[in-house]
Amino acid sequence: MTIESQLLEMLKQAAKDVSKNAYCRYSDFPVGAAVCGGSGKIYTGCNVENVSFGLTMCAERSAIFSAIAAGEKTIQAVVIFTPTESLTPPCGACRQVISEFGDDVQIVSFSNLNCSGPQSIQELLPSAFGTLNHSE
């Protein structure tokens, strides 16, 4: 499982750039995500927090929902950036949303110091909830 290196670099730059737009006044923990849709276009999202904390939306889902709203039917890759030393992989809710788009989505997390290899949703969310059989 690999992402073409030029595409990965574009996704990483887009995720890093959009993290600067994060609305994270409560956590001061900006996150940026970039998604490559099936068309090859790149979509971005950042976390958007709310004073009612449970309403906060993650960067990953923001990016995925933007891709779908733009007409994408499939997702090739999700790249997540946090300006930290350690990596921040997607939360459980985002993993479930990623799993909706099949087994071939490649997921990369990177920080100021580290970068994960591409991971599959099966690695990050084995036995995901669902009724769809994506292998058909």
Confirm whether residue 115 is marked as ligand binding. no
Confirm whether residue 46 is marked as ligand binding. no
Helices (H), 27-113: 59-69, 92-99
Active site residues: 60
Q: In what side-by-side order are the strands of the sheet with 106-110?
A: 42-46, 32-37, 75-81, 106-110, 119-120
Cβ closest to Zn ion, residue 40 vs residue 44: 44
Separation of alpha carbons 131 and 136, rounded Å: 12
Q: Kindly state the smallest distance separating residue 92's Cβ from Zn ion, in Å.
A: 7
Cβ closest to Zn ion, residue 31 vs residue 42: 31
Annotated binding-site ranges for Zn(2+): 58, 91, 94
Query: What residue numbers does the annotated binding site cover?
Result: 58, 91, 94
